[in-house]
Amino acid sequence: MSGASVSPALTLPAAGTLWSRDACCKTPLRVTIHSHHLAAILPVTGAIATASSTELLRLLREAVQQAGLDAVGDLATTFEPQGVSVVLILKESHVALHVWPECNKVSVDIHVCDYHQNNLPKAENLAERLTLMLTGRRDRSGWSYLGLKG
């Protein structure tokens, strides 16, 4: 192909590198992101098993606020013949509840990322609060933790 110009190869930043938004140049900033995922399937009280999506969102918002995390959005759905899922989008990531009333169980997913601070203590605080609110007990033995960084 005569007369065709070839662009130089694009060099991508290494994983975990963020680019500054400086108008004059692109300077890579080295940032390591830590991600914390706490999950559990818990037995629920009768009131939680039959709670509406509105009630579950209120409970979840209260627990998130008390744990020091920041909710920025939400989504809820009710399934037929039964079941409810609610999700709060957090500034730090998200938290979800999926209730199976026929089993008297709830699946809880808490996911937070560290960017400017370590958010693991807040996620653990949220897990403790949700355990008490959903089960009426303080037993966190059913929780699993996955930590990632990149």
> What would the pLDDT profile of 49-65 be if each residue is shown by its tens digit?
999 999 999 999 999 99
Confidence at residue 27, expressed as pLDDT on a 0 to 100 scale: 60
How far apart CA 9 and CA 4 sit, in angstroms, is 15
Nearest alpha-carbon partner for 56 in 38, 41, 76, 72:
76
pLDDT higher than threshold 60 for residue 88? yes
Confidence tier at 9 by pLDDT (50, 70, 90): very low
Domains of the chain are 35-149 (3.60.90.10)
Confidence tier at 26 by pLDDT (50, 70, 90): low
Q: Average pLDDT of 70-98?
A: 97
Tokens of residue 103, six digits: 């089993």
What distance separates the 2 farthest-apart alpha carbons in the chain? 76
Q: Give tens-digit pLDDT for 114-141.
A: 978 999 999 999 999 999 999 999 999 9
Q: Which residues are catalytic?
A: 93, 98, 113
Q: What is the pTM of this model?
A: 0.79
Confidence at residue 11, expressed as pLDDT on a 0 to 100 scale: 44
Contacts of 73 (CB under 8 A, 6+ apart): 88, 89
